[in-house]
Chains A and B, each alone.
Chain A
């Protein structure tokens, strides 16, 4: 698992509505649509929350096994990094 703490890029903003959740990056003029789980993980990307903490919290809430939760959380974080909307603080 990658070390460090994912940090939302400050200039990126989230728009939430009943219909959809979208992240807009003015730097690239790109819009990324997120499901509610990804939005929740996004809110945890504050630069001081480790992926392990996110995984444990989702496990606590959902009761799902670790391998399922870890795969989902890490995939979401990887998607955020690939989209350039989070950076990693060591």
Chain B
């Protein structure tokens, strides 16, 4: 297999022995090329950005940080890289967090190395890898998230255009006075709009309103929002 067709892999794990075992197994196959290794969270991210791997195998318990957070950062900064999170034990919460962070695969480190190799091969082809017996849990979470998103959109639909503008400005860090200046309204009117939108969103503070926007990923639905 030519070099440019090999699957380029980053290994991110705090245990040198584990990395070495995985490297040996992957490099024994012509189709893989271990292009980078990292032993902690910061190193993992910098190596991902430097080496631009096709697949990253990331330990959920990376030293110096959090493998799930690294997964999220890699997904954002190296979008072409497909991340498999490896965990010391089967843990539904870790798996769900990994998938929500952008991982396309989750595998227990108890699994045989041959299974890890097959998982790497599968995700490089575009497959998503979820332990079969966790599939129902993952689907339930996806359904729950979609329902929450739909409910958030329904609530946004009850806001006036002006209220949506103001929510967007709040989400971007603007206070009442700045909102008033930008929309050429009085500070009192600005505060009134804010109170109205808080009521419609069923939240109790501006912070909760911003959290609502962030948690439901609806910033793009708001009027006049600058990214």
B142 touches which one: A39, A42, A60, A63 (CB < 8 A)? A60
Known A63-B126, A63-B128; judge A57-B143 contact (CB<8 A). Answer: yes
Known A61-B128, A62-B128, A63-B128; judge A36-B142 contact (CB<8 A). Answer: no
For the complex, is A43 an interface residue (Cβ under 8 Å from B)?
yes
Known A53-B143, A61-B128; judge A44-B136 contact (CB<8 A). Answer: yes
- Contact indicator A57/B135 (Cβ below 8 Å): no
- Among A47-90, those with CB < 8 Å from B are 49, 53-54, 56-58, 60-63
Known A61-B130, A62-B128, A63-B128; judge A39-B146 contact (CB<8 A). Answer: no
Residues of B close to A39: CB separation below 8 A? 132-133, 135-136
Known A36-B135, A39-B135; judge A44-B126 contact (CB<8 A). Answer: no
- Contact indicator A54/B133 (Cβ below 8 Å): no
- Contact indicator B132/A36 (Cβ below 8 Å): yes
A53 to B181, CA, bound (A): 44
For the complex, is B140 an interface residue (Cβ under 8 Å from A)?
yes
Residues of A close to B140: CB separation below 8 A? 43-44
- Contact indicator B135/A44 (Cβ below 8 Å): no
Chain A residue nearest to B99 (CB atoms) is A61
For the complex, is B184 an interface residue (Cβ under 8 Å from A)?
no
Residues of A close to B136: CB separation below 8 A? 39-40, 42-44
* Distance between B97 CB and nearest chain A CB, rounded to angstroms: 15
Residues of A close to B126: CB separation below 8 A? 63
Main DSSP-derived SS at the B contact region: helix
Q: Count residues of chain A with CB under 8 A from any CB of chain B.
A: 18
- Among B137-184, those with CB < 8 Å from A are 137-140, 142-143, 146-147
* Distance between B106 CB and nearest chain A CB, rounded to angstroms: 12
Residues of A close to B137: CB separation below 8 A? 43
- Contact indicator A37/B142 (Cβ below 8 Å): no
Residues of B close to A58: CB separation below 8 A? 139
Top 3 nearest A-B pairs (CB, nearest first) are A43-B136, A36-B132, A40-B135
A71 to B132, CA, bound (A): 20
For B130, B136, B138, B146, the residue with the greatest tally of chain A CB atoms inside 10 Å of its CB is B136
For B126, B130, B132, B138, the residue with the greatest tally of chain A CB atoms inside 10 Å of its CB is B132
- Contact indicator A37/B135 (Cβ below 8 Å): yes
- Contact indicator A16/B133 (Cβ below 8 Å): yes
- Contact indicator A49/B133 (Cβ below 8 Å): no
- Contact indicator B138/A61 (Cβ below 8 Å): yes
Residues of B close to A37: CB separation below 8 A? 135
- Contact indicator B143/A54 (Cβ below 8 Å): yes
A85 to B142, CA, bound (A): 24
A53 to B133, CA, bound (A): 20
Chain A residue nearest to B131 (CB atoms) is A36
